[in-house]
Structure 1
């Protein structure tokens, strides 16, 4: 499958969106008090997984952008 520049922008946009929203989620989690330990563990795992997904999508987006840039030159 050949990714075009528009695909790269979508991947990068989703990656950025994940990072921004989960940074806000981290702040909200830090500000939360009086919850069971399982709450913090589950949400921390959720945050880590989504930031890893953002890193993977961001990497794919950058690679797709560079590949599209090379083929259009």
Structure 2
């Protein structure tokens, strides 16, 4: 499957959005008090998984963007 530049930009934007929202979530989680340990474990797992997904999507987006630039340079 060949991804175009617009697809690459969407992947990068989603990755950046995930990182921004989950960094905010980390800050909010750090300020909570009087919660059971399971609450912190569950939310930490969610944060780690979503940051890994953001890293994967960002990597795919950057690779697709670079590939789209190379094919565009060849067409000229």
TM-score normalised according to structure 1 size = 0.99
Q: Which residue of 1 aligns with 2:27?
A: 27
Aligned CA-pair RMSD: 0.2
In structure 2, the gaps of 5 or more residues are: none
- Shift of the alpha carbon at 1:11? 0.1
Q: Find the residue that maps to 2:33 and give its secondary structure.
A: coil
Aligned to 1:18: 18
Name the residue aligned to 1:58: 58
1:26: how far off?
0.1
Q: Give the ranges of 4+ consecutive aligned residues of structure 1 lying more than 3 Å apart after TM superposition.
A: none
CA distance in 2, matches of 1:68, 1:23: 30
- Offset at 1:4? 0.4
Highest Rg: 1 or 2?
2
- Unmatched segments (≥5 aa) in structure 1: none
Give the length in aligned residue pairs: 73
